[in-house]
Amino acid sequence: MGIIFIIAALFLSTRVDFINGNMTHTALLPEYHYLMIVFIVALAFYYIYKLHNHDHILQGLVYACALCLFVGILIPYTDNLLYEHAHIFFTSLGSLFAIGIVIRMIDRQSMVNYHKAMIERGYLMFVIAMLSAIFFFCGQFNGLFEVTGLSAFVLFVEYDMKKPRD
């Protein structure tokens, strides 16, 4: 299922300039605005459903991430300074909650199998290094950055959900 979200993110990101544009630019296009809202809602509900039986901290992070993404996608990024800052604040806060979800998963795994947790931590550090390199080479948060981050999050959570629970 995660691959479907990655393909959808790639499709939506390439509706505008893939290097300089981002998903916000796609959401501003009238023909893709509602499709972007449906995409974010589907992504959030999928992970709320998949992670509902985990610990309360992880559930809180998932709900907070979903709420921030909902609010961020519904507030248009326009020339109005208040809307612009609100959109950036909520989408950035949602991204921070997504990072918190991944960190909580690694923390939970470290209590069961420390070696596997350190391998997962290594993967996370690789993704952070890759995103940092994209940011420094491209000089901005762009579509490539967003798709790489979303793909890493989707694949990491999908991988964690497939592991047997003790």
pLDDT of residue 166 exceeding 60, the answer is no
Task: List C-alpha distances in Å: 153 to 49, 59, 70, 157.
Answer: 16, 16, 17, 6
Structurally, the chain folds into a number of domains equal to: 1
Ramachandran assignment for 25, one of left (phi > 0), alpha (psi -120 to 50 degrees), beta (any other): alpha
Cβ contact 21:13 at 8 Å = yes
Which of the four pLDDT bands, split at 50, 70 and 90, describes residue 49?
Answer: confident
Structure tokens at 56: 């309360």
% of the chain beyond a pLDDT of 70: 87
Query: What average pLDDT does this structure show over 123-149?
Result: 72
Q: CA 16 to CA 120: how far, in whole Å? A: 33
Q: 15 and 29 in contact (C-beta within 8 Å)?
A: yes
Domain assignment of residue 9, given as a range: 2-162
* Tokens linked to 28: 């501003």
Q: Give the residue carrying structure tokens 């959030």.
A: 44
How far is the C-alpha of 133 from the C-alpha of 127, rounded, in Å?
Answer: 10
Query: Does residue 165 sit in helix, strand or coil?
Result: coil
The whole-model pTM stands at 0.72
91-127 tens-digit pLDDT: 888 888 888 888 888 888 788 878 877 887 887 788 7
Longest dimension (CA), the chain: 51
- Categorize the per-residue pLDDT at 79 as very low, low, confident or very high, splitting at 50, 70 and 90: confident
Predicted confidence at residue 140, as pLDDT, reads 61
Q: Is the pLDDT of residue 165 over 60?
A: no
